[in-house]
Structure 1
Amino acid sequence: MRSIYAAVPLIAAAGAAASYPSDRWVFGDSLFYLGPPSGNARITKATYSIVPPSVPSGAKVSNADDEVWVSVWVGASSSAGSDYTNLYQPLFNWSPDQESQGCSATDEEWCVAASTYTPDGQVGQSYVPVPSDSTVDFEIAVVDKKVIQTVTIGGKVTSQQSDALDDPLQYLYSSNECYTGSGSCGTLGGYTIANLTVTLSEADTNFASVMDLDDVTDATFSSSDGGITWHTDRVTVSSIDFDSTDDTELSSF
């Protein structure tokens, strides 16, 4: 998947309706953005849970050989979105034709996988269907100069990936992403990122001040141990109409 921050320059559009060109990445404006910590502190672990929203409604495909797809993710990186650094981003993915994305789910279900966007392209595990209304638990952890992503459903690890840590992690951010293919992605319902906990390598008492919220709300990001572990019960993400320029930004890639 692409990063909204890596896909620069972005076209900042205005108006209520969009007619996006085919084969483009469209990013929803509803997201949180966290980092960098101050001093020598780095992000060493992030955990959170998501019950995926209803699958997108109103998606259209003109050519079955050029499917649309939608992804929902939280990712960690050493940069604010450079194309030349890794983005460790376990993700949900959906397409009207799930088999085209290598997933056995129906078009009423999401798929999920551990995955990393690298300068050489996307490296990820095989998609796994997500049963309806399931809570999916995620962990992104730095262990011995590696980043280990773990995806768990119902207490069972369903996807895991280990990648080299290119540089210490300083940013954690979310995104809703549409690849238009030969059509359009429709509307993605709102959802909640629950029990978001971020652990730092050392205390940063001002870490909450570098959390930016764009059309999302949180339940207060705070620390109870002097600035090493930070937590919020929930980040509530608004719905996204991928066909509206009021809700999205369009990559020029």
Structure 2
Amino acid sequence: VFSSGPTADGNWIRTANSTLVVPSPPLPQKGLLSLWVGMGTSNGDLIQALVESYNDNIDYDCGVLDGDWCTLASALTSNGQQGGTQVHANAGDEVQMNYLYNDKTGNYDQYVLLNGNLVSTFSTSSGKALGWGTAEECNQAPPAYPCGLTPAHSWINTILVLDQPQPDYSNTFGTFGASGTLTSSDGGKTWTAENLTIDAWNYTPTCPDDDGYKLTTLDNSVFNTTCNSDFVGGELKNSTMGSIQDCVTACDETENCFFAVWDGENCGLKSSVAEKVVREGMIAGSLVSKGC
């Protein structure tokens, strides 16, 4: 993600515009994934137009099927999530999210454009926006878990306009799994970026809820995960890993590896001769299909 803010005391964000180049849907599509750029406000609201992908078991009145996307103007307020019209979007579409402070009403007006056409609007009395950032959010509460592999994606033509110039605003910038930044050519009032790129991310399963979930690697190999399972014999390699996703990725990159087991810290890679056993607290990944 990329984030900016908070603004200096007395300063705030007047307008924020950014366009998402909609990526391919997550693989596999099991959950509710939301991509958005948002602004936190002095009233505690979150202004966040959304681009969402979800499976057929989740009905959000957008009429999408597995692997499709839905977009809408939206805000999270003290009254919950509210928003405008929801519209179907596809991979490769460009969704422009425009947030504009209205001096006459004191509201932030949202305008969402799909490939240049206005499709959704929403307006909220939210105070003043103090920070801005991108987000990739997975709702893993049943039946919306987990979100699978989210491809890398880009936010293009980003423009933030502050109420007052703030030359040192870049000192508030932060990134995690992202590249690109905002720069200013007018003394710190207007900040722009041609491209903010968000890295691919894989939402990994947790036990016992996600027993049997299939993990996909970046090379499109698929591993079936089982909770409280281990494989004995066929030892290839052991090393410290941060997740079962990292563990199956290492297996995918290791010759003759068919099984990966993870105990929350250590990863063991096993060949095809390994035998499955029950072991409390372990999670195992078994190669189902080999990618490229």
TM-score, scaled relative to structure 1: 0.75
Write the distance in 2 (CA, Å) between the matches of 1:118 and 1:203.
28
Shift of 1:129: 0.3
Partner in structure 1 of residue 276 of structure 2:
none
Give CA-to-partner distance per residue, 1:194-227, whole Å, 9 cap, x none.
1111000011011111111111111x42111111
How has the CA–CA distance of structure 1 residues 126 and 213 changed in structure 2, closer, same or farther, with 3 Å as cutoff?
A: same
Tell me which of 71, 96, 100 is aligned to 1:112.
Answer: 71
| CA offsets 1:146-168 (integer angstroms, 9 cap, x no match) | 01111012221001101112x21
Residue 10 of structure 2: aligned partner: 40
SS in 1 for 2:129: coil
Aligned residue type for 1:59: Q
Higher relative contact order (CA 8 A, sep 6+): 1
Matched, 1:96 2:55: yes
Q: What CA distance in whole angstroms lies between the structure 1 residues aligned with 2:32 and 2:115? A: 26
User: Once the 2 structures are TM-superposed, how far is the Cα of residue 191 of structure 1 from its aligned partner?
Assistant: 0.2
Q: Of the candidates 160, 164, 171, which is equivalent to residue 202 of structure 1?
A: 164
What's the CA shift string for 1:134-189, capped at 9, x where partnerless? 11111011112101111012221001101112x21111122111112234221111
Once residues 52 and 197 of structure 1 are traced to their aligned partners in structure 2, the CA distance between those partners, rounded to angstroms, is 19
1:179 maps to which of 139, 146, 149: 139
Indicate the residue corresponding to 1:135 in structure 2: 94
Whole-angstrom CA distance in 1 between matches of 2:152 and 2:78: 31
Q: 1:125 aligns with which of 77, 84, 87?
A: 84
Aligned-partner SS, 2:11 = coil
Q: What is the CA–CA distance in structure 2 between the aligned matches of 1:98 and 1:206, rounded to whole Å? A: 47
Amino acid aligned to 2:16: A
After TM superposition, the runs of 4+ consecutive aligned structure 1 residues lying more than 6 A away are none
Q: Which residue of 2 aligns with 1:221?
A: 182
Equivalent residue pairs, number: 205
Give the aligned residue type for 1:176. Answer: E
Percentage identity across paired residues of the two chains: 26
Structure 1 unmatched runs, 5+: 1-30, 61-67, 249-253
2:112 alignment counterpart? 151
Which residue in the other structure is 1:237 paired with? 198
Write the distance in 2 (CA, Å) between the matches of 1:136 and 1:118. Answer: 23
Compute the RMSD of aligned alpha carbons: 2.0
Shift in Å at residue 99 of structure 1? 6.6
SS at match of 2:59: helix
1:96 aligns to what SS in structure 2?
A: coil
Q: Which amino acid aligns with 1:169?
A: A
Task: Flag structure 2 segments of 5+ consecutive residues without an equivalent.
Answer: 207-241, 246-292
Q: Is the 8 A contact 1:74 1:89 kept in 2?
A: yes
In 2, the alpha carbon distance for the partners of 1:225 and 1:125 equals: 34
Pair member with larger Rg: 2
Q: Specify whether residues 133 and 69 from structure 1 end up closer, same or farther in structure 2 by C-alpha distance, changes over 3 A only.
A: same
Residues in 2 aligned to 1:155 and 1:176: alpha-carbon distance in whole angstroms: 23
SS of the residue 2:10 aligns to: coil
Distance 1:153 1:98 in 2: 25
- Whole-Å Cα distance in 2 between the matches of residues 175 and 132 of structure 1? 18
* Partner in structure 2 of residue 193 of structure 1: 155
> Is the contact made by 1:98 and 1:104 (CA closer than 8 Å) also made in structure 2?
no
1:54-75 Cα distance to aligned partner (Å, 9 max, x none): 1010234xxxxxxx31111111
Distance 2:120 2:76 in 1: 16
CA shift for structure 1 position 98:
7.5
1:230–1:98 distance in 2 versus 1, CA, 3 Å: farther
Aligned to 2:123: 162
